[in-house]
Structure formats: C-alpha cells, structure tokens
Amino acid sequence: MKQDEINKRRTFGIISHPDAGKTTLTEKLLLFGGAIQTAGAVKSNKIKNTATSDFMEIEKQRGISVATSVMGFEYNGYKINILDTPGHKDFAEDTYRTLTAVDSVILVIDCVKGVEEQTRKLMEVCRMRHTPVIIFINKMDREGQDPLSLLENVEQELNIHIRPLSWPIGIGNKFKGVFNLFEKKLQLFSPNVTKIAKDVFAINDINDIEFDRQVGDSVAKKFREEVELIDEIFEPFDLDLYTEGYLAPLFFGSAINNFGVKELLDTFVRIAPSPLPRITNLREVSPLEKDFTGFIFKIHANLDPNHRDRIAFCRVVSGKFERNKFYYHTRLNKKLRFSSPVGFMANEKSILEEALPGDVVGLYDTGNFKIGDTLSENESIFFKGIPSFSPEIFKELVNKNPLKTKQLEKGIRQLSDEGMAQLFIREMGNTKIIGTVGELQFEVIQFRLLHEYGASCTFTPLNYTKACWLTSTNKQVLEKFITQKPQYITFDKDGRPVFMAESDWFLNTIRQTVPEIEFHFTSEFKTDQQQINNMETWAKK
C-alpha cells in the first residue's frame, strides 16, 4: 500500500525567466486541480486578488515572486506538490536550493521572447542534477515566434533534445487552443482568465470536418501540415530519456486563458517521476525504506505576519513522517518532536497527521534548523547537495535606530537562516556584512526588516568580490593567518572563518603564500568536486 501511495506522488518545481508566466501557470494548475475556484492575476487591474502563490507583501507590490511557495493538491488519483520558485535572477540561489527538493521541473518560456538568460542558467542547473524537465511555451495568444522556429530556438539555446507533446492551433489572435499529441485528443475552451470554461468542442480525429468549422479552413489546414511535419521530424516520445534528463517533452499554451494547461497537467501526472532516491554522506536513501528521513531546503520567518512564526520546509525522502513523533536532528545530535506540522496551499496551512516521500512538511521552528539540516528516525546522516555559494555583492549593515538593535539582530539572523542573504561577522567592531547575488535582495531585506521586525537600516557598499570558507589540517597555521589578516577575516552565521577577497588576483596571491590553508568557494566542503566546479561555473555566469 505504501509503495502505491509513493508512486502517486509528483513533486516538481516551476522555473522560468521573470515575466514568462510561471506564477500564472502555477495558479492555473491549482485551478484545474480543484485546489482553488478562482485565479487571480499578479498584474491585472481588473482582478484585485493577487496571485495565490505570491503571499509576501513586497511580492504583491512588485508583482514578482521572491520566495519559494509550496502548494499541494490531488488530481486524478495523484498527490501533486508544486514548488513555485522565484524567477528573478537575484534569487537564483533560492531556486537552486529548491531544485534539490523536487523530482522534476516544468520550465516556462515566453513565446514572444523565446529562451532568455535566466532560462539558460536554470536549464544548466537541471542538467547538472539530471532533473527531468518539461517545457511549457506560454503566451501563445500573443503574436510571438512561429512554433517551428521556437522548437529550433529551444533546442539550440538549451542544448537539449525536445519532443513536442502538444501543438498549437493558430497563434496570436488566431490561437484557438492546443492538440494533445501524446493522447491524440483535442479540447477547445473559450478563453477565461479566472475560471475553467466548459468544453466547447472535443474530438479525437483532427481530420474531422467539424474541426475545420470550429477553427477555420486555413488554420485547420496549416495545423494538419505542421502536425504531420512534427511526426516526421521527431522520434516517438521516449519515457526513459525524459526521466534520465536527456529529453524534454514540450507543450504549448496560454496560461492566462487556460489553454494548454489541462493537456500539460494530464500528461505530466502520467510521465513525471515519482519520488526519487537522495544521496547522503554515507549512502543513497530510497523512498521505499521503512525509516523516516528528510531534509530542510527552505526556512521562512513570518509566513503569517499576524503570527511571528518561523517555518522550516522539510522534504520527506523516505519512510513516513508522523505528527508528535520524536525524530533525530543529526547536526544538533538531539531528538525533536513536532506537534503542529503543516501542509500548504499557498499561504493557507493545515495540520498534517502524516506525510510520505515526496511530500513537503512545514515545521514550526524556534531556531533549531538551518538550510540543509537532516532529520532521521535514528541514523546519523546528512543529505548532500545544498551548499551556499560565495556571494557577488557585499555591503555593511548599518543600524539607523539604536533602540531597535535587538530587533535588527534577530531579523537579520532569521533572514540569513532563510537563505535570503548570507551574514558574515567581522570581529573588529562587530561589523555585520551582508552578501547577496543581486541588488534586489538588499531591497527585500530592508523592506522585511522594517515591516516584520520594526528595524530600520541602510547598507554601505564594500570592495569585496568573493568570500572563501577556510579550513586547514594545521590548526596553528589557520589561527595565525586569522590573527594576521583581521581586516579580511569574517565568520559566517555558523562561526566558520571566511576570507573576504578584494579581487581574484589578490585571492590567488594570498593562496600561494599559505598553501596549508584551503580556500573553499562553497560552504559544503564534502560535496563532489566536479559538482562544485560545475556550480562555480554556473554561479559566475
């Protein structure tokens, strides 16, 4: 019975370049799944409800996703868990951490703009992890690129083989819907931004004369020619190549109008992988194992501004998570019990009695968890592949209101625990240095510190380009180096020494003078070296 339940789970992330329609697609999947009755549009003036998965105040104001949202619903006997990720490049590291918690990905592309910068970066991360990817070409209701040209653009830019599993009927103002190539079915809907319209037409044979009457003779003729060409150009869909990450099924649609979403969802639940094994420092953990294991991939403070809560998101890897049962926190070496674990539907939470592999559990936290922590039944292991990378921008945190010092201290530590930014402390003057990937993160931090903690701050730019974690087998050499270079030494939130470099040339010079000290560009020192190299290459891009 347990294996059957695990096989019904589908845990995936939705990723894209900003403004490709990722959050809108997420909502429409919830709509077709019956999890919500009416979808809101992020930037619509007519619809006052903001997007279901964008619950933070700053997200509502800016119309962007800056935090990963977790949502679950049931559809046709499957339990679906969606992780909607930030699209903005300044929050790419949060997206990468989220990808460690999913078994597959839906990558959204704007048909007008085609493959964009962030799309390429995200695809590289998926390829490194061999994550199965489904591509959704969105906004077909706009006058975008020709579908055949889009196929060529996607294959060349993303460097992956594709296989269309749906095909658009027209484009722009002639867009009528999509044909499901995988199931050989056609369902035409009338456009509806907020609700699911009733089927207006459904056939299994595109040569049916009624098809021409519905879409027009010229559109029907061009559509049949394109479908015939697709079947000639592309090999039949290979499920194994998809699950191994070498082939990306591709779908067309218009999420805002509900076109193509049902075709995507119906095919996704059939082909997407069920929960997959995960690597630890000692062994591979299978979802079918009896004992519970899980890892923390995200922490969010003040998910509900009315209750100053702090929730850790735990991906269940194996066994069964049960409410009120004690589990072993491997880093702290102690047992913890959770009386109020929760499941999510956007910003709505409900108490969970149990959860199975693939599920995401919210654990109320008083400061026990950090990103990457492992929970287990009784085994001392930790899951690999959730490192922090060297930030690219460094600024000193300046307190504008000394009377709010405690609030500022608490706030910045909680936000750094979430992964919003990295916190480094220089002992000289107890200086707090914030490291981020992009400028927008500083704006979000400033906003949240003020509105959630009542702490006002500013940031002063610093002339650092890289942060390196320091280790050495010779403790005396490391301690001497730290003493001699206090202006370049900081400590991360876990108390580990970090060297702040002003340039690559300066860093290389210093490394040559102290060969006994190792300079690490990621916080996970035991990660496979090739993956570290790959991740560093991606981060530089």
What are the pLDDT digits (tens) for 497-520? 999 999 999 999 999 999 999 998
3-class state of residue 108 by DSSP: strand
Q: Are 185 and 165 in contact (CB under 8 A)?
A: no
Instruction: Round to whole Å and give the CA distance between 43 and 61.
Output: 9
Type of residue at 466: K
So what's the pLDDT on residue 84?
Answer: 79
Residue 235 phi, psi dihedral angles, 5° rounding: -70, 160
3-class state of residue 444 by DSSP: helix
Asked if pLDDT for residue 49 goes beyond 50, the answer is no
Q: What is the pLDDT of residues 152-191, one digit of tens each?
A: 999 999 999 999 999 999 888 888 889 999 888 887 767 7
Please return the burial class of 501, using the count of CB atoms within 10 Å of its CB with bins 0-12, 13-18 and 19+: buried
Asked if pLDDT for residue 44 goes beyond 70, the answer is no
Instruction: Round to whole Å and give the CA distance between 408 and 425.
Output: 14
Please return the burial class of 410, using the count of CB atoms within 10 Å of its CB with bins 0-12, 13-18 and 19+: middle
Q: Which of 320-334, 483-497, 514-528 has the lowest mean pLDDT?
A: 514-528
Q: What is the pLDDT of residues 445-472, one digit of tens each?
A: 999 899 889 999 999 999 999 999 999 9
What is the value of pTM for the model shown? Answer: 0.79
CA angle 351, 94, 520 (to 5 degrees): 125
Instruction: Round to whole Å and give the CA distance between 65 and 113.
Output: 20
Count each helix (H run) and each strand (E run) in the chain, helices first.
15, 31
Superfamily of 278-376 according to CATH: P-loop containing nucleotide triphosphate hydrolases (3.40.50.300)
Q: Considering only CA atoms, which of 193, 192, 191, 189 is closest in space to residue 40?
A: 193
CATH 3.40.50.300: which residues of the chain? Answer: 2-271, 278-376
Q: Which two tokens mark 150?
A: 């889009």
Asked if pLDDT for residue 3 goes beyond 80, the answer is yes
Instruction: Round to whole Å and give the CA distance between 197 and 527.
Output: 49
CATH number of 2-271: 3.40.50.300
CATH 3.30.70.3280: which residues of the chain? Answer: 393-521
CATH topology of domain 393-521: Alpha-Beta Plaits (3.30.70)
Instruction: Round to whole Å and give the CA distance between 280 and 309.
Output: 30
435 C-beta neighbours (distance < 10 Å), count: 26
